Amino acid sequence: MASIGQIIFGSMIFLIILISGLIILILAIAFSVSQGTVETSTPSTVGDLGQDVVLDCKFLMSGSGKLDDVSITWLKDGLRGVVYQYKNKAAQLQGQNAQFKNRALLFQNYISKGNASLFLRNVKLGDEGVYRCSVSAAKISGTVNVNLRVAAFSAPTFTIQTNGSLTAEAQRWFPQPEVTWSSQSGQLLNSSSQYSNNSVGITRVVSVLKAPVKADDTYTCVIQNNVVKAVAEATVKDNKVTGRTYFIFSGASTKVLSLHVLLAVILLHFVLDCIVIG
């Protein structure tokens, strides 16, 4: 007669074998569908109005894959036709939406290295939206999304007026930003800002710091809308001022893998959780 302990031990062994089998099955399914991955390092990116932008998309293949039959399709949500399509070793643009005519390109010489990024010239407001990069080849199949937002932003230039006031002037902002000033210790300072729009709706900002500036002091001027934040530091020395600006884009970018891999990871987690609970 088997003791209760032996029965429990036996059933635990049985469970472990069963679950191991399950894991192998799930991994086999996940990786038979896709031996490569499609990914983007910028799931959310900001284009500067009138400038060029690159929407990142790359694919990685495990050793044996061949690239001869790779096809890359860029689509935009809610838009008819393709943004760009590459198939049979050439651009296939007969189905391209007119909005992207002569404005979209792939880095064709680097497709063999896994570069499926889209180069978009002269970014317009209407380009905002969610783009989908799909790559398929013998052993790859995956899609990643890149959310493109469009704004205008430029660093301010600082000047000390004859009356001793410090002003910051920035030429290109969209949407219209807000300006705040603070001292080196982080205290908010009073200021007044004037805005003027040009013919295409881009805002020029001139902001005057109310408090008199002190020599050898540093002031921080933050120009910010819902997309971009410019942090500009003005250092006053010998009645001259020098500025230094960096930009922060809202929506931090994290690496996003294609759905296939995510699915495999989620399933694996599920199985591991079951083992722990069991």
Binding region for ligand NAG (CB under 6 A): 54, 56, 107, 110, 115, 117, 161, 163, 165, 175-176, 189-190, 195-197, 201, 203, 208
Residue with Cβ nearer ligand NAG (94 or 185): 185
Least gap, CB of 90 to ligand NAG (angstroms):
18
Compute the least distance from the CB of residue 36 to ligand NAG, in Å.
17
Of the pair 179, 264, the CB lying nearest ligand NAG is at 179
Report how far Cα 78 is from the mean position of its chain's Cα atoms. Answer: 20
Contact (Cβ atoms closer than 8 angstroms) between residue 207 and residue 191: yes
Distance of closest approach, residue 266 Cβ to ligand NAG, in angstroms:
26
Between residues 133 and 264, which has the closer beta carbon with respect to ligand NAG? 133
User: Smallest distance, Å, CB 271 to ligand NAG?
Assistant: 34
Shortest distance in whole angstroms from residue 44 CB to ligand NAG: 14
Say how far apart CA 221 and CA 178 lie, in whole Å.
Answer: 10
Q: Which is nearer to ligand NAG, 133 or 137 (CB)?
A: 133
Helix (H, G, I), strand (E, B) or coil at 168: strand
C-beta of residue 256 within 8 angstroms of C-beta of residue 146: no
Nearer to ligand NAG, 221 or 264 (CB): 221
Going from the C-alpha of 20 to that of each of 45, 110, 215, 272, the distances in angstroms are 41, 41, 71, 10
Indicate the burial class of 221 (C-beta count within 10 angstroms; 0-12, 13-18, 19 or more).
buried
